[in-house]
Structure 1
Amino acid sequence: MFSDGKERFKNFTRILLTVVFTTLAIALVMIFGLTSYISKNNVSKNPDFSLQKQNTQMDENPDNPPRNIQVGYSEDNNFVADVARNASPGVVGISVLKVDSNALFDTGASQKWGIGSGVIVSPEGYILTNHHVVGGRNKKIIVSLADGRNIEGVSVWCEPVLDLAIVKIEAPDLVAVPLGDASKLKVGEPAIAIGNPLGLQFQTTVTSGIISALNRTIEITTDLGTSYMEDLIQTDASINPGNSGGPLLNSKGEVIGINTIKVASAEGMGFAIPINVAKPIIKRYVSFGEFIEPYIGVFAYDREVIKYLDGNIDLEHGIYVANIDENGPAYRSGIRTGDIITHIDGREIDTMMELRSYIYSKDPGDKVTVIYDSKGETKEVEIILAAKEGYGENR
């Protein structure tokens, strides 16, 4: 009888101890899990939490305050949406009715519509686009505004070498997009392209990416043969047929370039013409209603191009004069093919785009001082700029 009682007591004791230890184990697991959760939650709410112990001494030093580092995306810095909203009203579609240039007097000559993009650069109705969109002989130019209006325009200036052109329309309530400074661009900063890829049915399409490279040179084939476009902005923002002439913008919504070409054999390689070369031209049209193009009479290549043309030429600075108009101002002043222009009015010149930008800020009849190297000898001459023949005509 007593042995049965002892046995029951032992069994009861074992059960009790099992329950106690099991309860304690469960409690310890819950406490550990709760502690880990609280710690993890605090770190996620305060990204600098894990750094605070390491930076205790630094935090106590008033001369070396801590830095808050923001990583990741937030709606507050969604600049692409802001740029698209503000700039899209100033981006237009351009439809051009072109005729076969070899059959201008043939009433049965084929006609076809071409589509491109443009950007309004002044409330007066000046629109910047590509020469290959509106240049050459055409019968009609229709500008399609973002608000649905379709207005006939006229090409007032074209430059095939730069692949730039200006179209003028007469219309009220136009939204102009501000112009930026392409000379301040840095590789890696954001870039936004707006245009009409594949036609007006996709009007004001927005794509974004980065500035992939600067001062790019690409070889192109034209009706006149092989040529080079230099000093271009390279971007991975998608540029497709129909985007030509549309703006490339920075994160402030400023125009930094005009989209011009995409490399068909590669993805993510689009190019834009820096806006700086067009700014003095736009300024003249807005101020005076016309632009009489000043002319120096040289065509030169920078060091990025010349190495493709002649590997024996070692060009560190300046631009190599490849062609010169023998009736032009530079030739009359003594500059010849093979000379290297290094300065104009005290400014260093390393690209043809820089030379053009400066010349375009002048008037025909203005004097400029040019420093150049000729067969190892440094020379300085004064050149009187001429007016370019046929300025403003479709070419």
Structure 2
Amino acid sequence: MTRIGLVVNPVAGLGGRVGLGGTDGPDRARAALARGARPLAGARAATALAELAARAGRAPVVVTAAGPLGAGPVAAAGLTGRVVYDAGTGRDTSAADTAAAVRAVVAEGVELLLFAGGDGTARDVLGALDGVRCPVLGVPTGVKMHSAVFAVNPRAAGEVAAAWLERAGAVRLRDAEVMDRDEEALDRGRVASRLFGWLAVPDVPVRVQQRKTGSTAAAPEAVGGIAAEVAERVGSGLLVLGPGTTTRAVAAALGADTSLTGVDVLALRPGLPPRVVVREAAEADLLTLGPAWVVLSPIGGQGFLLGRGNQQISPRALRATGGRERLLILCTEAKLAALGGRPLLLDTGDDALDAELSGHRPVITGRRSSALYRLAG
């Protein structure tokens, strides 16, 4: 009988929609819950398992941990689970529970370890394995996910897992980077990542994401041209500005000081500097805006446009502000060229929205300059 491992970080991604970023540590998770956050990791893990079950010739036994650490999502996917670790009840789970669950699951000789979480969870998995070479794949459920050990979305995780289990000899492993955000670089105004090690991941191109590359300062003339084009297209009105160095530089060229990793709302006023209406907005703030332009730039190296670091711009929020017709995509020509033709990626958690946004769309690359580029869910 085929055996696959699953370990879920149940609080991964909690802070995304409420504007708190990652949820490393119990205090941050409790703060996210107090703001109305809803756990999503279990449901995304169940989606990956359901896709695996649909594609596999024979449903595997899932070796896992009790409750939300794994058994709950396994049951939701309709698969048979074997619990080998129990964190107990009546307390918050921790990184130590993740590590203990990983060690217990891998000791059972699973053919692949799926873990659901973000970069912090990937680091916990790396530490727990401590040099043991076990095939691993991340189901993306965190906020930022700079590492190259994750599938591009939960369904892709199930697809890759099935390909590995069914054709293990035909799918090779590659050593993929475990990355996490460099907080010191962030304090200096740069979004950069630190390398913590490598995990062995099934190499299925397009279905497994790339690592994030470090941000570099765009040429002032390129940023100025993009800013001028945005101002001309929008005229006056509200801008929902996604995170990142490109969008922040464009805001600065327009005359506004915005956050680097948050979602900000600006009011454009012809002839005047923009006014910051909401700084580091949550999904709830965006739902009250009414019509607004949503301005996004893809993550360098990965190409993610939605679903990585900007979960505040949820499917509900995107539809509430105007949907597809009010989405502006910004990217310098150099950053777009570095993707090597790979599409801009969508992982909103809403299959219908991802399908609606997919296809070729204009990307603003400068003043009176744009490129048609493919988006894919």
TM-score, length-normalised on structure 1? 0.25
Indicate the structure with greater strand content: 1
Structure index of larger Rg: 1
Indicate the structure with greater helix content: 2
Higher relative contact order (CA 8 A, sep 6+): 2
